[in-house]
Amino acid sequence: MIPAPPAILGGSPVFPKGSPAWPGHLPEVAEVLAESVASGTWGDYFGPNHATLCTELQEFHDVRHAVLYCSGTAAIEMALRGLNVGLGEEVVLSAYDFKGNFQDILTVGARPVLVDVEPENWSIDLAQLAEAVTEQTRAVIVTHLHGATLDMPAICRFAAEHNLAVIEDACQVPGARIAGRRAGTWGDVGVLSFGGSKLLSAGRGGALLTNRDDVVQRNRIYTQRGNEAYPLSELQAAALRPQLKALDERNRLRQETVDMLRREGLGTGRLAGLRPFQPRAGDESAWYKLGLLYESSAFAGLSAAEFAAAMRAEGVALFPGFDALQSIHSRRRFRAVNDLPVSAASRERVLVLHHPILLEGPSTAKPLLTAIEKIRISAAAVKERLVDASERS
């Protein structure tokens, strides 16, 4: 059988309608927003939805405090400020992490210290933490990325031994359970994002989770300037409440799709060149992005970016992961424990599948693998076409 040509070579895309919209039209959100407007409380600084969302986030996570902010990035900054991290102090984080986390450390006057990732799931390499710690180290930011989960019990043990605070970035895995406990509740402070693409979306927004009264009190003094300086609005809070109710169910559906992708062979055999990130055994993850470890040699030398472009032509929202932090910041801005060789290859190795397609359910797994397989079979022709195109331009 002659395989169908990939869309990037003029064939028809496997998903002609492209990636599903997110958050798109969620009827339960339309309803709660209409109620808020009808009640006249939608313009309140601290309205009923704001207060209730705080309580619901506390109950969902079983923590004493949930504080709402204007973004996840602001919430990470407030985590650092709440822990009183400042001038001349050091904060350890992974060289493969969200850019804003690095910048938040600089924002409070502290110095980022980068450690590398382990090569399986690109999670922070815990063996390197010990090398990173000095007299100046105050905290570590650890981030569950692309569906992988971190060994939070080990991280918290290490931090306690070295008298470090832990900031747990759960922006990509809201609702996940790590060793039975919700992501974002292990560290001194946990952070969620409600950005426009996130699993809980208010277009913008974030939250800080903590059991520490002192963190909340310090942040109150910082953000209360006659009015709240980093606020989440009543309307945003209203939009989030029904999504929080639906989160476990939606996480379960996305998980079923990921399970089906694995069962149908993603990451093994002919598709060993595209290996999905794995949560730790016993953890229940959440999938904001499905991380995939890409092996160019399995696709006739197509670069990760070229492969992703070919997949997007098929209507699949696949993108390169983060740039390694050491590649986008001047060496003067950070300290590193070594040359960070694993994370340095992020552009060639990490791809991320955006989550909306996972919510379509397990039946979407087969067509998704068909798109991958089309490109794999015609990879040499795709490469040739891209080389030709770049020579012409």
| Residue 100 interacting with ligand PLP (CB under 6 A) | yes
Question: Position of tokens 């986030």?
Answer: 57
* Smaller CB separation from ligand PLP, 71 or 128: 71
Which stretch, 5-13, 168-176, 179-187, 227-235, contacts ligand PLP (CB under 6 A)? 168-176
Contacting residue, 79, 171, 207, 325, with ligand PLP by CB under 6 A: 171
In the complex, what is the shortest distance from the CB of residue 144 to ligand PLP, in angstroms, rounded to a whole number?
Answer: 8
The secondary structure of 213-263, three-state, reads: HHHHHHHHHHHEECEECCCCCHHHHHHHHHHHHHHHHHHHHHHHHHHHHHH
DSSP state of 277: P
* Smaller CB separation from ligand PLP, 171 or 308: 171
| Residue 169 interacting with ligand PLP (CB under 6 A) | yes
Which stretch, 3-11, 166-174, 279-287, 361-369, contacts ligand PLP (CB under 6 A)? 166-174
| Residue 233 interacting with ligand PLP (CB under 6 A) | no
| Distance of alpha carbon 22 from alpha carbon 188, whole angstroms | 31
333: nearest Cα among 76, 114, 73: 114
Contacting residue, 36, 73, 123, 233, with ligand PLP by CB under 6 A: 73
Contacting residue, 123, 172, 219, 223, with ligand PLP by CB under 6 A: 172
Whether the CB-CB separation of 315 and 367 falls below 8 Å is answered with no
The secondary structure of 67-109, three-state, reads: EEECEHHHHHHHHHHHCCCCCCCEEEEECCCCHHHHHHHHHCC
C-alpha distances (whole Å) from 45 to each of 38, 50, 162, 335 are: 17, 9, 41, 41
Whether the CB-CB separation of 53 and 244 falls below 8 Å is answered with yes
In the complex, what is the shortest distance from the CB of residue 172 to ligand PLP, in angstroms, rounded to a whole number?
Answer: 5
> What are residue 276's phi and psi, to 5 degrees?
-70, 145
Instruction: Give, as ranges, the residues between 135 and 154 that touch ligand PLP (CB under 6 A).
Output: 143
Instruction: Give, as ranges, the residues between 188 and 207 that touch ligand PLP (CB under 6 A).
Output: 193, 195, 206
Contacting residue, 36, 49, 71, 364, with ligand PLP by CB under 6 A: 71
In the complex, what is the shortest distance from the CB of residue 16 to ligand PLP, in angstroms, rounded to a whole number?
Answer: 29
Which stretch, 67-75, 214-222, 263-271, 331-339, contacts ligand PLP (CB under 6 A)? 67-75
**Concatenated DSSP letters of 176-226:** -EETTEETTSSSSEEEEE--TTSSS-SSSBEEEEES-HHHHHHHHHHHEES
Angle (deg, nearest 10), helices 213-223 and 72-82: 110
In the complex, what is the shortest distance from the CB of residue 370 to ligand PLP, in angstroms, rounded to a whole number?
Answer: 29
Instruction: Give, as ranges, the residues between 205 and 224 that touch ligand PLP (CB under 6 A).
Output: 206
| Distance of alpha carbon 111 from alpha carbon 103, whole angstroms | 10
* Smaller CB separation from ligand PLP, 177 or 289: 289
In the complex, what is the shortest distance from the CB of residue 203 to ligand PLP, in angstroms, rounded to a whole number?
Answer: 10
CB-nearest residue to ligand PLP: 72
Question: Which residues make up the interface to ligand PLP (CB under 6 A)?
Answer: 71-73, 98, 100, 143, 169, 171-172, 193, 195, 206
